[in-house]
Amino acid sequence: MWQALSELTVYVVSDSVGETAESVARAAISQFEINSETVGVERIPFIHSPRRVDEALARIEDDHTDCLVIYTLVVSEVRDYLEQRCCEENIEAVDIMGPVMSSLQRHLDREPRQEPGIIHRMDDRYFRRVAAVEFAVRYDDGREPRGFLKADVVLVGVSRTSKTPVCMYLAHREYRAANYPFAPEVEPPRELFLSRDRVIGLTIAAEQLRGIRRERIRRLGLNRSSNYDDINRIYEELEFASEIFRQLNCPVIDVTNKAVEETATTVLEIIRRGEWPSG
């Protein structure tokens, strides 16, 4: 059982948007059994100069809680100045980017470019990612099954097995992902069977699916008289999906208790290894 700790604010200081450092911070925080309100995370992005460092420190010093600074600054001058100022103000600061860049510099025997925000530039990868997101939206939830023939991967399963969020995750990694929801009353489209070499099934434990659907009903204010969360109906749907998985001879991922990121990572491994059965 977690015990209440003093409030802490983690300030994410970055010369870009701060996504990398915030992801690291939240991943680390998740390892502690604490109330979700115990630790706050705030981004301070676009810190490009010593003047902006001073502005950031002024904001942090106005805080009345315990604080920690974690930062991703690629320009050595700005990074060194932040370290100096945090030391002067007795604020603990953790460098996320610097040690990795230093190690790479030693191994590659070349100087880093020290240009903030390079990863977010509108290069070819950016446009491929945008195209993949547009693809996922267009062919979401079984719309236009002909899209299955163009997809890198097609996710199938009953409603609420995280097909759509996994597709969006894959799209941000430049994969064209479509999905199709199974229902016993509807025969899957022929395009699905023509695309069986790129289909992956998603399944889930019946009781967990029931809980997810009940929560969705509650949030949307739907009619509780529907059989959407009926356990017998759920078993029927899962059995129907299992039979289609068998016909497709496709890999199946059990998403029970899995985060979207975990499921997407497993999908990526299947894609990269080409683990679809033949025939």
Q: CA 56 to CA 40: how far, in whole Å?
A: 16
pTM, 2 dp: 0.70
- Strand 177-182, strand 39-44: pairing: unpaired
CA–CA distances in Å: residue 27 to residues 48, 50, 97, 229 = 26, 29, 16, 32
pLDDT tens per residue, range 42-87: 999 999 999 999 999 999 988 777 999 999 998 889 999 999 999 9
Q: How far apart are CA 70 and CA 79, in angstroms?
A: 11
Is residue 136 over pLDDT 90?
yes
* Residue 154 pLDDT > 50: yes
Count of all residues that appear for the chain in the document:
279
* d(C-alpha 249, C-alpha 230), whole Å: 28
Taking only the tens place, the pLDDT of each residue in 205-258 is: 999 999 999 998 888 877 666 788 999 999 999 999 999 999 999 999 999 999
CATH 2.40.128 fits 124-273, yes or no: no
Query: Quick check: 6 pLDDT over 60?
Result: no
pLDDT of 23 over the 60 cut:
yes
Cα distance between residue 195 and residue 191, in whole Å: 6
Band (122; pLDDT cuts 50, 70, 90) = low
Tell me the C-alpha to C-alpha distance, in Å, between residue 11 and each of 25, 32, 219, 228.
9, 18, 32, 43
For residue 177, pLDDT beyond 70: yes
Between residues 215 and 121, the one the model is more confident about: 215
- The whole-number pLDDT of residue 35 equals 78
Q: How far apart are CA 201 and CA 58, in angstroms?
A: 52
Q: Give me the CATH topology for the region 8-120.
A: Rossmann fold (3.40.50)
Q: Which residue ranges make up each domain of the chain? A: 8-120, 124-273
Longest alpha-carbon distance in the chain:
68
Residue that the structure tokens 């997407």 belong to? 264
Same fold, 8-120 and 124-273: yes
Q: How far is it, in rounded angstroms, from Cα 18 to Cα 234?
A: 42
